[in-house]
Amino acid sequence: MTGEYVPYDFDMYDPGVIEGVLSEDGMTFSGKWIESGSFIDTLADDNMSFTANGSSNPVATMTQPYSFTFIAQRSGDIDPENLWNGSWSTDRKIYEFIQNGTAVTGVNQPLPGVDDESGIMEGTVSEDGRTISGTWTETGLLVFVISDDGTSINATINESLDPASIADIVTFTKVI
């Protein structure tokens, strides 16, 4: 089974896709959620910050991707051979990039107390080394169990693919 969701607050949450399998008895849906999009990061002249311009992939009723912009500040020293290497901070997350030639991979982690998910990034550095173009993905596990009478669903949502990373336990009730 697959489905899509659109958040009420795009500044706080990303749209995404759910995919998984239904149990034989039809009572439990287990799978994962996936949020993704693209980005272009541009280094400042001093190599100590970058501006990110990105978007989410449109899903469900969305006709256009949701776009965002933020600035990240470098923590630590500059590696002149790999300008993107290192740790970068925003008001919501910390980004860790590893540059290997023109390829950049990275992870992002929300700051303590910030309600957001971790993710991965993959990109390519421009010829002049000043820009990365790439994709971002955030994903996690989910389990939905419908009640015997069909009026509610108990949902366990993980913030990553680690089963111990429970982010929320919610009960959805059918509105009649």
pLDDT at 124 over 80: yes
Contact in structure between 16 and 4 (CB atoms under 8 Å): yes
Q: Can you give the pLDDT at residue 9?
A: 87
Q: Can you give the pLDDT at residue 76?
A: 93
Buried b (16+ CB within 10 A) or exposed e, 39-50: bbbebeeebebb
pLDDT at 77 over 80: yes
Mean pLDDT within 23-39: 96
Q: Can you give the pLDDT at residue 110?
A: 93
Q: Can you give the pLDDT at residue 41?
A: 98
Percentage of the chain exceeding pLDDT 70: 100
Q: Can you give the pLDDT at residue 115?
A: 84
Mean pLDDT within 138-157: 95
Contact in structure between 152 and 173 (CB atoms under 8 Å): yes
Q: Which of 5-14, 30-39, 154-163 has the lowest mean pLDDT?
A: 5-14
Give the C-alpha separation, 55 to 71, whole Å: 15
CA-derived radius of gyration, the chain: 19
Q: Which of 15-19, 73-77, 113-117, 168-172 has the lowest mean pLDDT?
A: 113-117
Structure tokens at 55: 């978007």
- Please name which of 123, 138, 128 lies closest in space to residue 41, comparing C-alpha atoms: 123
Domain layout of the chain by residue ranges = 36-137
Q: Can you give the pLDDT at residue 159?
A: 87
- Please name which of 54, 97, 99 lies closest in space to residue 75, comparing C-alpha atoms: 97
User: Which residues, including other chains, have CB under 8 Å from residue 149's CB and lie 6 or more apart?
Assistant: none
Mean pLDDT within 47-72: 95
